[in-house]
Amino acid sequence: MPHPLGTRPGKVVAVHLNYRGRAAERGRIPDQPSYFLKPATSLAGSGDPLLRPRGCELMGFEGEIALVIGERAYQVPPQRAWEHVAWVTAANDAGVYDLRYADRGSNLRSKGSDGFTPIGPRLLDARTIEPDALRLRTWVNGELVQDDTSDTLLFDFARLVADLSRTITLEPGDVILTGTPSGASVVEPGDVVEIEVTGGAQSTGRLTNTVVEADSALAGYGAMPQVLAEDKAAAFGVAVVPTLTVERRAALTGISVATLASQLRKRGFNGFFVDGVRPTRPELKMVGTARTLRYLPLREDLFARYGAGMNAQKRAIESVLPGEVLVMDARREADAGTLGDILALRALKRGAAGIVTDGGLRDSAAVSGLDLPVYSSSVHVAVLGRKHVPWDTDVPIACGNTLVQPGDVLVGDADGVIVLPPHLLDELITDAREQELQEAFITEQVAAGASVAGLYPLGPDWQSAYRAWLDQRIDNRMESPA
């Protein structure tokens, strides 16, 4: 069916990053919004096919809230910018990452193909909705994959309109795509993508499009599809340059929290240990990057809006990525649960590396039966509504008196949880390995009857013996069968 605008707009403007969850996936939080243009010919309607060019593998979907300009806007201030928006609707900022390299930054061919911007099916009157209370949901083959609200935007709608209008005249009918939340990924031919925007009792209806393989290959007189590693990572919604490489993760798995704490103290850092949390499974080691969730004190008048349905708690669970640790700021309130067995199981199924909360844990026996490191300050059967409103995600938080930022590295063992600044990882790993080797040598000497005087910490009188011990370990390793 045709798109609901009826006429072709002069321009379609799309925002690169604008949801906190998506920014966390990308591994960066922009200071200012940035944009790219999509051709007006890319517009399509509900029911139109999403045509994946033959030879491409990485067809991406991105559920978005689209604004339609109703009144000409040029150099309008933020406090008046919403007056220039006539309608709101659902959109899919679709594209193929296989062609992203060809127009790096502009996204012209990767996101500008005909039919790559379905919108609709209905328009919501902007005068009848609250712009910071819209809900965006995306389903793929009936499974909910994106669920977020407009109050988690990095840059609100009025800010976008005002910013663009500083230098660009926005004309009636122009479309602004306002960014996609976490959960955008890759779809295959035959997959059905549905997107809906709701505001109170109003709904755009579901924008529905099916991915279809093109009948013929792209002509060879232009850039051809390529699957590059960084574009594949971006297509599937992970940071292009992960902080935790396979090598770093493996190294941290073999280092104790106590050793890492000692190394941080040597550098003058003392506030990185998460106070008061204990593991359900002390034998499980936890290593991962932080995905954050913040609770605020209960206010009954706000709980219905922020605590019900797909609230920030559930959104955090549904957006956690493989290798991430979900870290909760519950203000150290011990007498209300912040997590139970069902959500812990869901986090495990999504590949979470662990969960840390400085609040209470419900269903502790069931959670202890999961192969998932979980740390909490207490066990309490009350639900979070006794003390908390789940407020927002992917923001700096305080957990156990420790500041945790999205992307920080967390390591946990039987002693507890420590936060590691990403920029110090390599030197911490190097020095911690050396410290643990020295402590292994010292332990052997003490077990054999040596005094700790001059030995612990390792003093100059023991250096030659320590070097000989290291050489022997290397020789033994070389002589052992492969």
Q: Are residues 220 and 290 in the same domain?
A: no
Q: Are residues 190 and 294 in the same domain?
A: no
How far is it, in rounded angstroms, from Cα 66 to Cα 12? Answer: 10
User: Count of residues for the chain?
Assistant: 482
Residue type present at position 289: T
> Are 31 and 93 in a shared domain?
yes
With contact defined as beta carbons under 8 Å apart, do 95 and 53 qualify?
Answer: no
Query: Does residue 206 fall inside a structural domain?
Result: yes
Could you tell me the CATH number of the domain that includes residue 282? Answer: 3.50.30.40
29 and 142 belong to one structural domain? yes
C-beta separation of 436 from 255 below 8 A? yes
Of 190, 214, 235, which one is at a domain's C-terminal end? Answer: 235
Q: Which residues contact 411 (CB under 8 A, 6 or more apart)?
A: 252, 255, 257, 260, 285, 286, 287, 417, 418, 420
CB proximity list for 194: less than 8 A, separation 6 or greater: 138, 139, 140, 206, 207, 208
CB atoms within 10 A of CB 296: 17
Cβ neighbours around 189 below 10 Å, total: 14
Task: Please say which residue of 401, 420, 439 terminates a domain.
Answer: 420
Dihedral of the alpha carbons of 155, 158, 161, 165, in degrees to the nearest 10:
-110
E strand or H helix that includes residue 198: strand 192-199
Q: Are residues 230 and 282 in the same domain?
A: no
Q: Does the model's pTM come out above 0.75?
A: no
Pair (205, 288) in one structural domain: no
Q: What's the rounded Cα separation, in Å, for the pair 116 and 106?
A: 15
In DSSP notation, 357-379 reads: ESSEESSHHHHHTSSS-EEESEE
DSSP, residue by residue, 203-245: E---EEEEEEEEEEEPPSSS------HHHHHHHTT--SS-SS-
**265, part of any domain:** no
Q: 91, 9, 2: which is closest to 47 by C-alpha?
A: 2
Whether 179 and 59 share a structural domain: yes
Give the Cβ contact number of residue 125 at 10 Å.
13
In the chain, which stretches have pLDDT less than 50? 240-241, 482
Residue 80 belongs to domain with CATH number: 3.90.850.10
Q: Is-contact 118 50, C-beta < 8 A?
A: yes
Give the Cα separation of 393 and 421 in Å (integer): 20
Q: Give the per-residue SS3 of 381-402.
A: CCCHHHCEEEEEECCCEEECCE
148 falls within a domain: yes
Tokens of 442: 């010292």
Specify whether 197 is located in the same domain as 274: no
**Residue 357 domain flag:** yes
Nearest-10 crossing angle of helices 425-447, 463-479: 100
**Are residues 195 and 290 part of one domain?**
no
Q: Are both 199 and 278 inside the same structural domain?
A: no
Contact present, 209 and 46 (Cβ < 8 Å):
yes
Residue 67: phi and psi, rounded to 5, are -105, 140
In a domain, 449, yes or no: no
Cα(238)–Cα(26) distance, integer angstroms: 6
Domain boundary among the residues 398, 420, 442 is at 420
- Domain containing 29: what range? 12-235
Phi, psi of 86, deg, nearest 5? -95, -45
Mean pLDDT of the chain, nearest integer: 91
Determine, yes or no, domain membership for 447: no
CB atoms closer than 10 angstroms to residue 398: 15
Number of domains in the chain: 2
Are 391 and 281 within one domain? Answer: yes
Q: Give the DSSP per-residue string, 289-350.
A: EEEEEEEEE--HHHHHHHTSSS-HHHHHHHH--TTEEEEEE-TT--SSBS--HHHHHHHHHT
Q: Is residue 431 part of a domain?
A: no
Contact between 378 and 334 (Cβ < 8 Å): yes
The reported pLDDT for the residue numbered 481 is: 56
Give a yes or no: residue 477 inside a domain.
Answer: no
Interatomic CA distance for residues 290 and 396, integer angstroms: 10
Query: In the numeric block, which tokens belong to residue 37?
Result: 């243009």
Q: Are residues 27 and 136 in the same domain?
A: yes
Phi first, then psi, for residue 203 (nearest 5°) are -145, 145
